[in-house]
Structure 1
Amino acid sequence: MEYRTVGRTGIQVSNLCLGTMSFGANADEETSKKMYRRSREAGINFFDTADVYALGRSEEILGDCIAHERDNIVLATKVFWPTNADVNARGLSRRHIMQGIEGSLKRLKTDYIDFYFVHDFDPRTPIEETLRALDDLQRQGKILYPAVSNWAAWQIAKALGISAKEQLARFELIQPMYNLVKRQAEVEILPLAASEQIGVISYSPLGAGLLTGKYGVNKRPKQGRLVDEKRYTDRYLDEMNYVVADRFTTYAAERGIKAATLAVAWAMSNPAITAPIIGARNLEQLEDSLDAADVDMTPEWREEISSHSITPQPATDRGETLLPNWT
């Protein structure tokens, strides 16, 4: 396992992060703890969860797992989505953030979170309000660094400007979606992260299973996240995604490597990515993703794989020159 520095924080994390959304949901407690132990054996020291995963059960199970070695673990969790029926138990208001951190700390059985993510953008709450609440949590020692997931690049950039102007703790880690069929992060989010020295842990490197070999233009299982869960069905609805899946899985098979392993290795090979988040429902699925740590992905190989999908358009219409021609 390789270890990389998260932005400018000095914190060293494994180049794979274990996501625990399945803990207490698709994976029972026993299986979840086995996956945790296997990840630690493989060298993973970075774990990601959220207060809404399995209605808090994910945090509880992960808290049990890390209790005996908390100081050796880099821990991330999140706040935003509804945690109960109360109208204020959601969003990024100071009220919800302050309540959210206390609940997460209790479930995780710890007194601090390394990276505390805002899980989505809240149009009802001024960014300044959210950033001040996060800054207060850092000053209180309940979080080490604020982090952000599912915000647009302009929203993140605006927040960075506010943090600089008001001398507030800034986002030090970004969590965007990123895989071979969802490459939008390459346009602005990853360049922003590189420019501002912010770490990136990307999620969904397997495209909800699309890039594992189970799916294709003429291959549609009767069960699976892309079938059973509307958010994933909608996310990967475009037929071109299945064309790319066919191309990619055929390419992987021809080279004798599991598609899931190669998909994670491809995401991990982007220079702006600190660590892709891997997840699994069982140990067999986990092993395929863990094997990505042993793949020597060269820039040429990465480019060859990238050619199987559509490269997103640049952020501006003047991408033909790097510098203006002053002569």
Structure 2
Amino acid sequence: MKYKQLGQTGVQVSELCFGTMSFGGDADEAESARMFSACRDAGINFFDCADGYGKGAAETILGKLIKGERDDLVITSKCFSPMRDDVNARGGNRRHILQAVEASLRRLGTDRLDVLFMHRWDATVPLEETLRALETLVADGKVLYLGASNYSAWQIAKGLGISERHGWPRFDVIEPMYSLVKRQAESEIFPLALAENLGVISYSAVGGGLLSGKYGKGTRPDSGRIMANPDYAKRYSEDWVFDVAEAFTEFARETGVHPVSLAVAWAAANPAVTCPIIGARNLEQLQPSLDSIKIDMTPDLHARIAALSRTPAPATDRLEDQL
């Protein structure tokens, strides 16, 4: 396992980050523990969580697992998601952010979060209010670094500008979706990250399972996130993504590599990506993602895989200016 600096923080993180969304849901406590141990054995020191994962269940399980080695780990969490039926138990306002972080710290059994992400953009709240609340948490030592998850490039840039103007801590890490079938981040988010030296931990490298080898033009598994979750079904509803999945699966077969390993390695090879987030429902499903670091993702191999998919539109219409 190699280690890389997370943006300009100076913190060294493993080249793979483990995402704990399955903890307390698809993976019970025992299976979560097995996956955590496998990650630690592989050298992973970076674990991504969120209060919205099982409405606190994932944080509670992760908190038990990190006891005894907390100082050796880089732990993230997120806030924004509805945590109770109460109308105010959600969002990017100061009231909810401060309450949510206190609750996350209790569940995780720690005195600080290494990175706190805003999980979503909140259009109902001035960004200044959100950032001021985050500044309070950093000043109090409860959060060390700030992050933005699922923000567009202009939203990240706006946040950076506000923080610079006020002298507040800025977003140091971002968490965008990125895979062979979801490449929009290449247009503006990744160039922004490189220009501003932001750490990037991308998620859904396997496209919600689409690139696992189980999907194709006329092929669907009996179960899986895309089949069971309406949000994922909508996210991957266009016919062309299944064409890509079939071509990618065939390419992986011809290459002699597990498609999951290849999908993770391809996402990790983008120069803007610090590390991709991997996840699984069980230990068996996790192994191919761990094996991704064994792949020599040469520029030629990366380009051949990229050619299987659609290149996203550039940020401007001046095609003659594109490198």
TM-score (norm 1): 0.98
SS of structure 2 residue aligned to 1:67: coil
Q: What amino acid sits opposite 1:170 in the alignment?
A: R
Which residue pairs with 2:149 in the alignment? 149
SS of structure 1 residue aligned to 2:18: strand
Which residue pairs with 2:120 in the alignment? 120
Q: What amino acid sits opposite 2:79 in the alignment?
A: V
Alignment of 1:265-284 (within 5 A): 265-284=265-284
SS of structure 2 residue aligned to 1:211: coil
Residue identity (%):
55
State the distance in 1 between where 2:322 and 2:260 align.
35
Seen in structure 2, the aligned counterparts of structure 1 residues 250 and 23 have a Cα distance that, compared at 3 Å, is same
- Superposition RMSD in Å: 0.9
State the distance in 2 between where 1:321 and 1:49 align.
40
Which residue pairs with 1:66 in the alignment? 66
Which residue pairs with 1:286 in the alignment? 286
Displacement over 2 Å in runs of 4+: none
Deviation at 1:301, TM superposition (A): 1.0
The alignment of Structure 1 onto Structure 2 pairs a total of residues equal to 323
Alignment of 1:123-272 (within 5 A): 123-272=123-272
Q: What amino acid sits opposite 1:288 in the alignment?
A: P
State the distance in 1 between where 2:320 and 2:164 align.
32
Q: What amino acid sits opposite 2:24 in the alignment?
A: G
Which residue pairs with 2:80 in the alignment? 80
SS of structure 1 residue aligned to 2:161: helix
TM-score (norm 2): 0.99
SS of structure 2 residue aligned to 1:208: helix
Which residue pairs with 1:9 in the alignment? 9
Q: What amino acid sits opposite 1:271 in the alignment?
A: P
Q: What amino acid sits opposite 2:57 in the alignment?
A: R
Instruction: Note the alpha carbon deviations across 1:161-210, whole angstroms, 9 max, x for none.
Output: 00000101100000000000000000000110000000000000010100
State the distance in 1 between where 2:132 and 2:319 align.
37
State the distance in 2 between where 1:127 and 1:57 align.
29
Deviation at 1:237, TM superposition (A): 0.0
State the distance in 2 between where 1:291 and 1:221 align.
23
Q: What amino acid sits opposite 1:235 in the alignment?
A: R
Deviation at 1:224, TM superposition (A): 1.1
State the distance in 1 between where 2:13 and 2:171 align.
17
SS of structure 2 residue aligned to 1:146: strand
Instruction: Note the alpha carbon deviations across 1:135-186, whole angstroms, 9 max, x for none.
Output: 1100100000110001110011011000000101100000000000000000
State the distance in 2 between where 1:238 and 1:131 align.
36
SS of structure 2 residue aligned to 1:110: coil
State the distance in 2 between where 1:255 and 1:201 align.
27
Instruction: Note the alpha carbon deviations across 1:212-266, whole angstroms, 9 max, x for none.
Output: 0011111112221111100000000000000000000000000110000000000
Instruction: Note the alpha carbon deviations across 1:291-318, whole angstroms, 9 max, x for none.
Output: 0011111111101110000000101011
Q: What amino acid sits opposite 2:184 in the alignment?
A: Q
Deviation at 1:322, TM superposition (A): 6.1
Corresponding position: 1:111 with 2:111: yes
State the distance in 1 between where 2:245 and 2:24 align.
29
Which residue pairs with 1:20 in the alignment? 20
Which residue pairs with 2:302 in the alignment? 302
SS of structure 2 residue aligned to 1:320: helix
State the distance in 2 between where 1:259 and 1:79 align.
32
Which residue pairs with 1:39 in the alignment? 39
State the distance in 1 between where 2:319 and 2:199 align.
25
Which residue pairs with 1:312 in the alignment? 312
Deviation at 1:319, TM superposition (A): 3.4
Q: What amino acid sits opposite 1:291 in the alignment?
A: D
Q: What amino acid sits opposite 1:185 in the alignment?
A: A
